[in-house]
Every structure is written in C-alpha cells, then in structure tokens.
Amino acid sequence: MTLTRHRRLLRNGFAGPTARVVVVCAAALACLPAHAASLTLNVGSKRFTESYILGEIITQLAASANEAGAVHQRGLGNTAIVLSALQTGRIDVYPEYTGTIAREILKLDSVPPLPELNARLAAMGLAAAVPLGFNNTYALAMRGDDARTRGITRLSDLGGHADLRFGLSQEFLGRADGWPGLALAYAPSWPARAMPRGLDHGLAYEAITHRQVDVIDIYSTDAKLEKYGLTVLADDRNYFPRYDAVLLYRVDLPARLPRTWARLAQLAGRIDDASMRRLNAAAELEGKEFSAVASDWLAQLLAPLNLPASVGTVVAGDRGGAAATDGDAEAARASARAGLWQRLFAPDFGRLAFEHVVLVFSALAASVALGVPLGVLAARRRVLAGAVLGLVGVIQTVPALALLAFLIPLTGRIGAVPAFIALALYALLPIVRNTHAGLTQIPAGLQDAARAFALPAQLVLRKIELPLAAPTIYAGIKTSAVINVGTATIAAFVGAGGFGERIVTGLALNDHAALLAGAIPAAALALLIEGAFAYGERWAIPAGLRQGRTR
C-alpha cells in the first residue's frame, strides 16, 4: 500500500479519527510526569498509614541532602507490587520489615540476623539496612468487652469459640507468614474453620466496632487499638516473628547517592514503638496529612543533630518532588479539617483530573484501535469468532490488581505504562463484542447487493458495513469509556495518579471525606463523558442512521 493511500485512508476512513485520537492521547500520556533515575531518589510505600508516613520521612530527609530530587511514590499496593517496582528500578528504597523480608520475599522459615538477610538479598540486587528502632509485628485483636466476657487472652483460647467471625486483610490471608501459617501453627487447638472474611486493613476497625466481625489482624503500632478499646491476643506459641522496620533498597543506592544515603542512615534507631504509634495517631486520629506528620517529626529529630532547621519542613509531593514551606504544611493540616467541598477542590484537583482523563482516553483510543479490527476479524472469519470473543472475555475476568502486579515486571515500570495497558485491555470486551454484533446483524441483502457491483471487500467494509454498524460500535465505545473512568481509579495503586489517589488514601485512613473527594469527581467525569458521547453521536454516526434516534 502506498504512502498516499495510507494518508487517504487516515483522512477518510473509519479508522481516521481513531488514529488521530491514538496519536494525540499517546502524546498526552507521554507528558505524564516521569523521573530521571540518575538524579532522583524514588521512594515507595505500601498502602497503609505507617508506610505512607515512613515514605514521607524518607523522602523529606533525602531531599534535605541537596544531592538529588526526592519523589514519593505513595501507596503502590502490597508487598509483591512494591518489590517488583524496586527490582525493576522504578523505585530505589522503601520501608519494609524483617519478618516480611524473611517470610514473604525470601521464603524462609525463620527471621535470621540482618547480615544473613543481606547475603540472601544480594542475589536479587537488594539490601536491607538502617533499623528504624521499632517492631511492628502482626497480631490478632478482639473487642475488649467480648474478650473479657469469653475469657480470651491468648490466640490458643480462640479454639473454644467456633462462632467467632474473623475479618482479616487480604494480604494477611495470602501471606506465608499470615493466616495459612497461623492456622497451621494453632491447628491442634483450633477447630476447622472456613476461610475468614477478607477486609481492607483501613476498614477493619470500623467493621469490628460495628460488630460485623469479631477478630481482626492488626499491626502492633496501630493507633486505633486504644481508641476502639481492642484487646490484643497474646501469641502464646510465638508464631509471629519480629517485624523490625528497616530500609529495603537497591544495592547501588549508597554509591550512587552517597550524601543522600548518609542522611538516611541517621534514621537508625530513631523511632521506637511508642513514637510510631503517635505518628500513626497524628494521621488517623488527628487528621493530619502524611507529609505534615513527617515534617513535624523531622523538625524534632534534626534539631539535636545540628542539621538545618529548614530540613524538617521539606515536603516532596507524590510525583513533584517540590519543596514546601511551614505555611504549606499548615495549609495541608487545615485542608484535612476542611469540609467536603474544600477537599473536593483541593490544590491537587487539576493534576488528578488531568492524569485521570489522559489515562482513560489514551487507553480507550488504544482499545478502539485494537478492538474494532478484532471485531471485524470475528465477524468476517466465523471460525475465529469464538476464540476472539472468548479471549477478550477472559481478560475481563482477571482481577485488576493481579493484572497490574503482572504488568509491572513485564514492562519493567510502575506508573502510567502498566495502568494504561491494563485499562486498554479491560476496555476491549464491549468494543469487540459490539463491533462483531453490528457487522453480523447487517441484512444479507445489502451485502449481496454490494458484491453484485463487484466492489472490493475493503471498500464494502469501509463505505457500507462499518457505517451501518456504527451505532452499535459507538455504543460499545461509549460503554468502555464510562467503565474505564471507574476502573482507572486502580491506577493509584501503582503510582499512576488520578482520582484513585484520594480513594487509596481514604481507605488507608478510613477517611470517608477523602474517599468521597475521589469518588465524586470520578462519578462526575463518567457523567460528563456519557453526555459528551451523546453529543458526539451527531458526527460519529451517519445522518441517515440517526433518524429517529436523535434530533
């Protein structure tokens, strides 16, 4: 095919608008913030309060070394996702726990000393250092009144109470050092029990307070233990190992950024159990922003070290790495106390909206570019229809977070790229099915008439079949667009931004205002897109096919 014909097809064909949208959205996607690995320390964190706070402390302290920018990739998800980001070089360091390193990452039966952990981590290009000073071990907890009434003080006491309802975090349910090993360790005294109910850690305290569950897994430094009057059950068989907080990092970090690493090393032994509980309480109970909690604590830490007082007020944003002043920290604290309206239109609204829209439409454009040809193939080659439709149907059934966790090591990146691929794959099903349905429902007489004039098959497809199927195809594209708006909130779990950032933070803190501040704009965006597609139907569908549909 000649270049001239390519251009003519792009100008006049059904794929012309699609191709242009693909180019524009791909360019916009490329404009999403990226980080130069050589001059930036990328800090990761998991999706719970303590990890957010420690990530902010690491980020702000690293920025104070004035050697490189520091960026906090907040709330990337569970251990598997954050570890993949670390191994692929998308982040350089994140706060981790020795028990998790030994049991979950290295698959060991016990937790050896730090030198032995490092000997094993070396094969992965990783190392652990800078023990922060506290042990945040797992435990199970009950409501205090229930524990006293039933006489339960130890984990082995649970064996005589088969009616208790367990609500455990999803990660705890799947971890080797979580529920599977715990149930096995206490099997002689515990009766056979169905798989506990899975709960997000941020919602577990509310669930147990409202008596929806009776036993939850907790971290020993959780701030809400006293507030909700929970009794922590003694691990009388010493199943849970120590979970001493350390920095897990890429082995090249100290050599690449020596001043920054020297500054981070000053965190060793500076945070004890009580201090960590107070930091968690400041975020969860007092409503302070994670960055403000970190900067307040750093200001107290650094004064005795004779470091510049301004260091404690350096705040690196989720992706911006920009410095902030004491006034910014105070503004952040005021924002946490503000009403829903202020939370909705906080300063990050424009950035989050841009990221969300770019992800949705770039993924949609890719889905159209791939889905329409697949739908045409399924309609033209009936023998392939079952395989094509079955494949896109199977993709739709893969859990979103599982797909993201798979895409991170596959692409070697976190952020917009794996999120874009996941959204594009999820948007395929309605487009492929509707394209197939629209083409197969065209009356056979029209197709026979076209063939009677000996028109080329490609011309028949472009000038007759696709225009006739346009209303059905357009409906599938609109469905995918609206679905993608909601699905795009998962992008926040891999640091791709969007309104999901607020939702993830709200889940971590059980903050309903933060949840609504993310959910309401996403819902409003879905409605706007629905309206925009209704208006766009005027030019996307031939006028003759709109008769009786719109005026």
Mind listing the pLDDT tens digit for each residue in 142-182? Answer: 999 999 999 999 999 998 888 899 988 877 887 778 888 89
Mind listing the pLDDT tens digit for each residue in 96-115? Answer: 999 999 988 998 988 999 99
Residue 249's φ and ψ, nearest 5 degrees, are: -145, 165
Helix (H, G, I), strand (E, B) or coil at 411: helix
- Of 135, 136, 51, give the one whose Cα is nearest residue 93: 51
Give every residue of the chain whose pLDDT is below 50, as ranges.
Answer: 1-37, 309-337, 548-551
Residue 109's φ and ψ, nearest 5 degrees, are: -85, -15
Whether residue 477 contacts residue 379, with contact meaning beta carbons closer than 8 Å, is answered with no
Kindly report each contact of residues 153-157 with a partner whose C-beta sits within 8 Å and lies 24 or more positions away, as own/partner.
153/231, 153/233, 153/234, 154/233, 154/234, 154/235, 154/236, 155/182, 155/186, 155/233, 155/234, 155/235, 155/236, 155/237, 155/239, 156/186, 156/189, 156/190, 156/236, 156/237, 157/233
Strand order in the sheet with 40-44: 69-73, 40-44, 93-97, 245-250, 126-129
Q: What is the pLDDT of residue 169?
A: 84
Retrieve residue 441's tokens.
Answer: 């429902």
Q: What is the pLDDT of residue 59?
A: 96
Report how far residue 84's alpha carbon sits from residue 126's, in angstroms, rounded to the nearest whole number.
12
Whether residue 119 contacts residue 443, with contact meaning beta carbons closer than 8 Å, is answered with no
493-503 core/surface letters (b: 16 or more CB in 10 A; e: else)? bbbbbbbbbbb
Report how far residue 529's alpha carbon sits from residue 18's, in angstroms, rounded to the nearest whole number.
17
Residue 40's φ and ψ, nearest 5 degrees, are: -135, 135
Q: Which residues contact 130 (CB under 8 A, 6 or more apart)?
A: 246, 247, 264, 265, 267, 268
Helix (H, G, I), strand (E, B) or coil at 506: helix
The number of beta carbons lying within 10 Å of the beta carbon of residue 531 is 10
Q: What one-character-per-residue DSSP string does 119-136 give?
A: HHHGGGTEEEE---S-B-
Domains of the chain and any CATH numbers: 3-30+348-546 (1.10.3720.10), 40-135+243-337 (3.40.190.10), 138-232 (3.40.190.120)
